[in-house]
Structures are given as structure tokens and as C-alpha cells.
Amino acid sequence: MSECVRYPAPGCVVEYMEGNAVQIAMVTEEAGGRLRLLLPNRRETRLNASRLLPWLGPQQAAGLSREEAVRLLETHRETREAAAAAVPLMDAWELAQGEVESAPAPWFAELFASAPDVDAVAAWGRALLACKSHFRFQPPEFQVFSAEMAEKRAAEETARQEREALMAGGAAFFRLLWDVACKKRVLPPATGPGSEDWPDPHVARRLEETLRARMADPETQEHEALWRGLSKGLPDVPHLPLQLLMAWGKLPPHYNFWLDRADYAPGDTWWEPLTNEVQALGLAATGPEAAALPHCPLPFMSIDSASTRDVDDAFYVRATDDGLELTLALACPALCWEFGGPLDRLVLHRGSSIYLPEGDCHMLPQCLGTGAYSLQAGEDRPAFCVRVRVDANGSYGPCEIFTARARLAANLHYEDCQAVLDAQAAQTPLPDNAAAPFADQLALGLDLARRRQAARIAAGAVIMDRPEPVIHLHGPATDPQVEVALDYHAPDAQLLVAEMMILASAAVAELAQKAGLPLLHRTQDVALPKEYAGVWTAPADMTRVMRALTPSALEVQPRPHAALGLPRYTPMTSPLRRYPDLVNEAQLVHFLRTGGPRWDTEALAALLQTLHPVLDAVGQVQRFRPRYWKLLYFRQQGDKIWWPGVITEENDVMVSVSLPEQGMFVRGKRRLFDERACPGMAVRLRLGKVQPLYNEMQILEAMTAE
């Protein structure tokens, strides 16, 4: 007869927990609460009676042989396991919930059977122990969880099981992917021979999600414990998730993970869920409000690179009795922009346009930024205009701001404009190009730019004349050939445009200061030695001067900008490309309409809290992605080429060298260089061990240039 017993004695079948699993055994000896137990595998163990589960029995007659005891234990175990699998746990939980807070295993067994035997009670005990989401074992009873707690624990249990499955199938798969990334193995197919190395689809999906999350945010704590387990034994390299995803085939070679870090959607589809709002804003460029603007008859012209499609500034210069007058027309998306709306939130999240060798990523939908609001020649566009006079000494007076409809006479390119300016300087016939009919405007514009640059230098401006190379990619995207070369040099045309933009931004900042109008300002409030003012071209000189400069900051307070030589500077000339400029333009348009600000100082400061991290992330994309392509270029060229450079800094340990033609800086150990090495010395370098993904390149050899 099988019955539950109260105290274990020799011959009693008992159960206990070991390794988070129920173990069955028979007592062979008992002394002072210490038990000797026989296990189904014929081994023996010792155990305190306090560790036994609270269902004891049945009690067998003394004198059983070891073989008989083992067969008996196997029979009871099979019976209990089968019965436990059939236990209606959820029915029992629903009956118990609200009736009892806790109950022993026999109570649950008696809900569904009268006089259950010890095997039935043990089966219920086993099932209750396994259902941790709805019950908690508090010896000798089981606590019954509420519906809310059961749901919470069920979710936790599901998550735990998923983590265990991920750990079981993911760690080995990650090691396989790393071997593939290191070219030690070829990734086997997901089906057929070799597919046993692959995790099941659900686990694979979670592994991909984990890798993408770590790639986009290496500091995330969301999957930290899981990631530590999955990556155990793999090298601690900066971009391991990216390399594993590329080895897996989930990402193409040369993938731009910096966009993921910035959460910046590439291409021109990110706005499509807001098509109606975008179309309405596009129509507003020629709608009643824009049509009501007064027409400005000036024949404005723009100057940009040949690839520019988002034209956001144009100018007209005329001579006056005492100097020159600039009228600058700026694209005006702020005219009908809905700040705080769905499109605005997306554009704020982008923060700025990004210009990369593989393609541009525009801040605005292209139908707006390169279409409806871009200043295209021969088409009426809403414009925000700034008019300011410059005297013979380059000083500027108060500016006038207004909104108008503008129609450009031409969209010119730097190369054509430079050719015209060169011909004027040499007093030779003008070239036959699109800029020739505007030669007089170009001459006036260059005169104004030179006056302004001289005035800024007199005020302490520091100008770095550093040529920026252009990166071209040729061939398939998965295996491009990189070309890095200096762009066509158009110093006068570029100076003309740059000084006009700086002038307008400075003049508007002065107007806002006098009117008490809050704006976003670009500041660099640092004291510079007077001898640092001027135009610098030598790499060593530029490095020395740059050491004294601090990075500029975007602030509400209108503090000085040292490098520009200005008491205050308000970015507002690129509203199609930069969100701060769009905000400043909107503030100025609202001021024209109402005489007051759209945002007060506190509101702009609050906006900056959101905008700063966005601009920092976008800035990383713009800095690091071109550098990646430059490093790939050096790797493709091999380690046998000697590259010309100029030493910019040196000490007893390291030497820094500028590579002007590639716009790069490299550092090498002092022992590689001539003992006479000093800033300004021309050298030649042999470079190698290039790792574009890790932003690494080493100087292998160095010698003094002849």
C-alpha cells in the first residue's frame, strides 16, 4: 500500500532538489537527521532531512536488495513524470486564485482526485515546482500568485528561456561568424550540409537584433549581460557587432554604421509617411502666402559646386557712394514651416544634411530642399533677404531684413566663376562660360569679400587656408576603388561666397542684439595672441594656431567668435541644410511679421538640449566616414609608396605629420625620423598596417624629403 509518511525511515522513497531538478531516492540509513540515500543510478549520497521535499513515501519494507530498490525507484520516477506532464496546472491555479494564498501539494492533488496516492501528490509537487510563473514554493506550501503577478512572472520566464536559447545557440554561431570575418572559414549554407552550425530562425532573429542594437549603441545596457555571454572568448574590438553582421551577410561590405549611431535614415524615403504634409509645404512655396510677398527685382546669382542641388543662398552687389551694398537672398522654408509638427520632429532628429562620397543625405525631403524651396534660376522662390553696406575699410553698418519673392538670374559654379576672376586679374579676354555675363557682379563681390576679410583679420580673425581633397568612388559599392585628389582650386570664388555668408550672419546678429531678439549663436569665446591673426597655409603653423583655439559652440548667449574675428555670429544662411539656420530664419521671419520673437531665450535653450546631441552625432558621421574612405584608399595603394608630408609637431616619443594632399594627419614613433626632425620639415613616409574600420594606420618608414 502506497501512502504518504510523516518521517523518512530506511526503505522510504523521498525526493529532493539538486541542480534545479527533482531527484528521487530511497533512504537506506537515518541517524540524527542525516540520511544515506540510494539513487536510481545505484550511487549513494548523504543528505540532511531538512532538504527533502514535503511528500514522503511510499514506505517500503526493509530488506530490499539494491537491484529491487533501483527498479522500484525507476518505476516511481516514470509514474510521477508521466503524471506531472498531465497535471492541469492552469485549471488548478484558476480554482486556487482568490480562494487560498498558499497550499501544500496534497491540497492541489485533491482538487482533481479523491484520496490521491503519494505518486499523484509527488506529480503535483513536481508540476507546481516547474510552474514558477504562477506558483512559488515556500516549504511546505506553494504560494498562489495573483493574475498580475503571474503575467509578469510568465513574461520573465519567457525572457529567461529565450536568453538561455540565445546563449546556447548564439555563442557558437558568433564564433563561427568571427572565423568567417577573419577569413579562416567560409560561412556554411543555412540549409543542407553544414546547416547544423546555424541557430533556429527565432534565435537567429534575436541574435541579429542584438548585433544591430550593439552596433548602433555600443554603450547600451539593454542587452549587456546577454552580449557578455555571447561574445565571451571573442576579441574585444571596437566594431565587433558590425563585423559579425557583415560576415553573416546581413550588411554589405563598407557599411556606414555611423548613420545607425546617429539614428539617421539615409536616402529620401524617410518622410514618405508624411507625404500629405510634405506636399502641402511644397505647394506653399508658390501658394497665396508666398505670392503675397513683394517681388524683389534684383538679378540675384548663386555660386556653388557643380554637384549642388540644394541652393540656399544668392547675392547681388552694387556700388554706392561710400562703398558696396550686398543684398543676400536666402531660401525661405521657414515661411510656412510648422514647428512641432510631425515633419518638423523628423527634420529636427536629422539636424543637418550630410555630404559623403557615396551620396548625400539631405536634411529636408528632396522635393523641398532641392525642389520647391531651392533657389533655382528663372523661378520665383520665397526668400529671406539681408541687405547690408560695407565701406572702404570693410566695416559694415546696420542691416535691413525683409521677405520677398526672388528670381535668380543664374546658378553659377565655382570653376566658371574662378575662370572669369582669373581673366579679370590677368586682364585677358573672358572665358566663354556661364559666368562670363556676370563678370561685373563677380568683380564687385570679390572686392567686397577682400574688404571684409581684411577687416576681420584686423579684428583678430584666424583663417586656415587648407585645401580639402575630394574623394571619388569607382566600381561596385561592395568593392569600390577609392580616388583621393585635391579639388579644382577656386580661391577667389570661394572667398567671395564665404565672406558674404559671414557678413550676413554677423550683421543679423548685430540687428538681433539691438532689438533684443533671441537667436542661436555660434560662439568661440577665447583670447588669442594678436600675432595669430591672419591667413595660415603652412601645416605646422596651422597646427600651432589651432592648439590655441577651442571648438566653437552653439549657444543662446551672443558671445564672441574668436576665429571669425566677430563680436557675435548667427548661423542663418543655410536653412535648407542646417536646422539651427532654419530656426534662426523662422525667428527672424516671425519678428518681421509681429515685431516680437517666436521663441524666448528659455525656449531656445530648451531646444538646444535636444539639438546638441543630434548635431554631435551627425558631426561624427561627417568626420569619420570620409576618413574611412581615405584609409581604404591608402590600403588599396599598398605599403610600397612614399607619401609627401610635413611635420607639424614632435617630442621625444612621437612625431605628427600632415599629409596635405590627402587631408590626413598621422603619428609615428620618434625613432623612425631623422634626429633633425622639427615642425615644418618636409618628409616622405611609407605607410602600412591600415585598418579603415578601426581608424588605424602606421608609419612604417620615414625619411627627409630631398
**Is residue 221 predicted with pLDDT exceeding 90?**
no
**Identity (one letter) of the amino acid at 390?**
V
Q: Is the pLDDT of residue 242 over 80?
A: yes
pLDDT of residue 184: 84
What H or E segment, with its residue span, contains residue 620?
helix 601-637
Secondary structure letter of residue 104 according to DSSP: -
Q: How many CB atoms lie within 10 A of CB 521?
A: 26
Residues 21-27 have a mean pLDDT of 95
Q: Which domains does the chain carry? A: 12-145 (no CATH), 149-251 (no CATH), 272-627 (no CATH), 638-704 (2.40.50.140)
| pLDDT given at position 3 | 61
DSSP 3-state assignment of 32? coil
Query: So what's the pLDDT on residue 201?
Result: 87
Q: Is the pLDDT of residue 516 over 70?
A: yes
Closest C-alpha to 575, from 342, 274, 328, 236: 328
Helix (H, G, I), strand (E, B) or coil at 684: strand
Cβ burial, residue 218 (10 Å; 0-12/13-18/19+): middle
Rounded mean pLDDT, 87-100: 91
Has residue 4 got a pLDDT over 90? no
Percent of the chain with pLDDT over 70: 99
DSSP letters spanning 242-288: HHHHHHHTSS-TT--HHHHHTT---TT-TTGGGHHHHHHHHHHTSSH
Structural contact between residues 118 and 2, judged by C-beta atoms closer than 8 angstroms: yes
Hunting for cell 509617411 — which residue is that?
273
- Report the pLDDT averaged over residues 251-255: 96
Over the chain, what is the mean pLDDT?
94
Question: Residues near 658 by Cβ (< 8 Å), separated by ≥ 6?
Answer: 539, 540, 543, 645, 646, 647, 648, 664, 665
The predicted pLDDT at position 404 comes to: 97
The 10s digit of each residue's pLDDT in 40-90 is 999 999 999 999 999 999 998 877 899 999 999 999 999 999 999 999 999
Instruction: Give yes or no for residue 2 having a pLDDT over 50.
Output: no
Residue 570 is predicted with a pLDDT of 97
Q: What mean pLDDT is predicted for residues 86-108?
A: 92
Q: What digits encode the pLDDT tens for the residues 147-188?
A: 889 889 888 888 877 777 788 778 889 999 999 999 888 988
Convert the pLDDT of each residue in 599-629 to its tens digit. Answer: 999 999 999 999 999 999 999 999 999 999 9
Question: Could you give the CA distance from residue 20 to residue 4 in angstroms, rounded to a whole number?
Answer: 24
User: Which of 197-201, 308-312, 371-375 bottoms out in mean pLDDT, i.e. has the lowest?
Assistant: 197-201
What are the grid coordinates assigned to 368, written together?
523641398
**All 3 cell numbers of residue 345?**
520632429
* pLDDT for 6: 82
| For range 469-485, the mean pLDDT | 95
pLDDT at residue 154 in the model:
85
Quick check: 307 pLDDT over 60?
yes
Q: Is the pLDDT of residue 424 over 70?
A: yes
Cβ atoms within 10 Å of 575's Cβ, excluding its own: 28
| The pLDDT of residue 377 is above 80 | yes
| Inter-residue contact 605 to 555 (CB < 8 Å) | no
Q: Which long-range contacts (CB under 8 A, 24 or more apart) does 601-607 make?
A: 601/518, 601/556, 604/518, 604/519, 604/520, 604/556, 605/556, 607/583
Amino acid (one-letter) located at 129: L
Segment 643-666 mean pLDDT? 95
Select the more confidently predicted residue: 293 or 229.
Answer: 293
| Cβ-based neighbours of 222, under 8 Å, separated by 6 or more | 213
- Phi, psi at residue 419, to the nearest 5°? -60, -40
In sign, the C-alpha dihedral spanning 269, 271, 273, 277 is: negative
Cell digits for 568? Answer: 557675435
Q: What is the pTM of this model?
A: 0.81
120-123 own/partner pairs: CB under 8 Å, 24+ apart: 120/83, 121/4, 121/55, 122/15, 122/53, 122/55, 122/76, 122/80, 123/79, 123/80, 123/81, 123/82, 123/83, 123/84, 123/87
pLDDT for res 568: 97
Task: For the chain, give the percent of residues with pLDDT over 90.
Answer: 84
Helix axes 491-515, 439-458, angle to 10 degrees: 60
